[in-house]
Structure 1
Amino acid sequence: MTNADASQARDRDPQGRARSARPRDGLGRPLPYGAEGVLRQPEGVVRAPRETVAEAQALLGAGKPFHAHEVFEDAWKSGPEHERPLWRGLAQLAVGLTHAARGNAVGGARLLRRGAGAVEAWERDRGEDRPYGMDLAGLTRWARELAGRVERGAGPVDARAEAPRLGP
């Protein structure tokens, strides 16, 4: 098969962008074609901020941090410019938990710390510690504590048991 043939065989979305149609598990890992997977989060959904928080919290509580990351990513890409660093930091926290649950200690700890730093910087710069009811200081403490445990060899973590509470 030539490179041109391979590129034509790739899964594509309606706009022609490469998108894998493979089913995925609850942590976003690809499964073989035909396997029973977890429904994916629709991409590009514009939600009100509190809807974003509620949807992400439900997904985190269900042990689906990869899917929560996609909800935060939608807010990051569609929200007001001044809030984008906050939503990007929250997406990084969710991806960090995803990697930690997959057993990727280095990537998990790195993303948890990066997300914690972004959320903390946003809180400091904006002077808001509870936007949309979220406990940003609590989230940064959670992320750093989990990053430390993951680095010390906690092994793959249980995404549901380790899911943070976004708010009170």
Structure 2
Amino acid sequence: MDETHRDRDAEGRARNARPRDGLGRPLPYGTEGVGRQPEGVVRSPEETLREAQRLLDGGMPFHAHEVFEDAWKSGPEEDRELWRAMAQLAVGLTHAARGNAVGGARLLRRGAAVLEAYRARGPYGIGVGALIGWARELAGRVEPPETGAVARPAGRGRATGGVDAAAEAPRLRP
């Protein structure tokens, strides 16, 4: 396929059809990639957590993020911040695994901060306290120390070797 071709869906909207790896990075056309998560799937909280855990355990946090994003967009208003925070944790792990330590740490901490509001009630059996601890601990491990010698542009993290996404996958429930 022509690399300059712009993929479109049935309604004519731009949709990148390039295959992706387990961390959601685009691969060259014709390469075998990891199947994408269908968009807009409405799942119960139980189904959301089960599917996201399966993907996290398989080293595919980018895909788990998409499952959480579906829950965030389709669920009841009172749960939207919960699912958004869960998506941020999955994307934080994705960035850490891709080698973007600064961005990964930032998203892990942001998701953990939002989850604080859910610590006491632990909705849907989610181990909120353990997830907060996991996110903060991983953020502290992956974030490079600031040397002050070189200023980095805003929004740009220093790439490192990355972490093993499957080995670092959190348990969503105790």
Both proteins in one fold, TM over 0.5: yes
The answer on 1:137 being equivalent to 2:129 is yes
Query: What's the offset of the Cα at 1:152?
Result: 3.9
The alignment covers a number of residue pairs equal to: 157
Residue 81 of structure 1 aligns with which residue?
A: 77
Aligned to 1:3: none
Q: Answer yes or no: is 1:149 the counterpart of 2:127.
A: no
CA drift of 1:138 comes to: 0.5
For 1:162, what is the secondary structure of its paired residue? coil
Residues 66-93 of structure 1 deviation map (CA, whole Å, 9 limit, x = unaligned): 0000000000000000100000000000
Taking structure 1 as the reference length, the TM-score comes to 0.89
From 112, 115, 135, give the equivalent of 2:111.
115
**For 1:144, what is the secondary structure of its paired residue?**
helix
Unmatched tracts of structure 1, length 5 or more: 1-5
What CA distance in whole angstroms lies between the structure 1 residues aligned with 2:71 and 2:19? 24
Q: Is the 8 A contact 2:89 2:108 kept in 1?
A: yes
Q: Which residue of 2 aligns with 1:31?
A: 27
Structure 1 Cα separation of the partners of residues 131 and 65 of structure 2? 15
Q: Which ranges in structure 2 are unaligned for 5 or more consecutive residues? A: 146-159
Write 1 or 2 for the structure with the bigger share of helix. Answer: 1
For 1:155 and 1:139, the matched residues in 2 are separated by 24
Q: Percent identity?
A: 75
Q: Give the distance between the partners of 1:114 and 1:73, measured in 2 at CA.
A: 16
User: Aligned residue for 2:63?
Assistant: 67
Q: 1-side partners of 2:135 and 2:173: how far apart?
A: 14
The aligned runs of 1:88-127 (5 Å cut-off) are 88-121=84-117, 123=118, 127=120
Deviations 1:112-153 (A, max 9, x none): 0011111113x15xx41x211110111010000000000147
Distance of 2:85 and 2:124 partners within structure 1: 15
Instruction: Choose the corresponding residue for 1:40, options 24, 36, 39.
Output: 36
Q: CA deviation at 1:17?
A: 1.9
Find the residue that maps to 2:17 and give its secondary structure. coil
Counterpart AA for 2:173: G
